[in-house]
Amino acid sequence: MTTVTLPTVPPPQRYTVAPGRSLAELTAWYGPLPLRRRRVPLAEASMEMSPDAEQPAFRFSFDDRELRAVLTSERVDAVPGDRLQLTGDLDLNGVAFPVLLRLRVVERDEDRLLVVGAAKLPYRLLRRATGFRLPWRLPATRLRLLVAAEFA
């Protein structure tokens, strides 16, 4: 009888954000002026490292009366200086809007990753594509979505 040793594939690692260990903020800008800054609850955030994929998959879920959306990464690129660049889709009202989220790795350990990043969104294009609207008294030209999360 011959024994065959099969390679073991490690299970995918999934890191999530503990409650209270994240921050999300939506800022409306009109030209160089910030008009409104509002904290948005980050309902869920996860980072999944699968053994066959070269890059991790990020997912951020926002749950607010103004912003109910899910941001999923399609591609993650490492940029020099401990930075990550996520190209993905912001799913808002069932429509996927392309987003570029630039993250800075603040702290990295074996079982923990702390990131802070922002994405700039053109408000007029976002409104036309997804139907997302700010109150009529806020004449915004762009939005900034700030995310800070500690994956453990």
Residues 61-105: pLDDT tens digits?
998 887 889 999 999 998 988 899 999 999 998 999 999 999 999
| 1 band by pLDDT with thresholds 50, 70 and 90 | low
CB 92 within 8 A of CB 130: yes
CB-count burial class (<10 Å; 0-12, 13-18, 19+) for 105: middle
> How much is the pTM?
0.86
Q: So what's the pLDDT on residue 65?
A: 84
Q: What are the residue ranges spanned by the domains of the chain?
A: 18-151
CATH topology of domain 18-151: Lipocalin (2.40.128)
| Residue % of the chain over a pLDDT of 70 | 92
The pLDDT of residue 2:
62
What would the DSSP string read from start to end of 30-84?
ETTEEEEEEE--EEEEEEEE-TT-SS-EEEEEEE-SS-EEEEEEEEEEEETTTEE
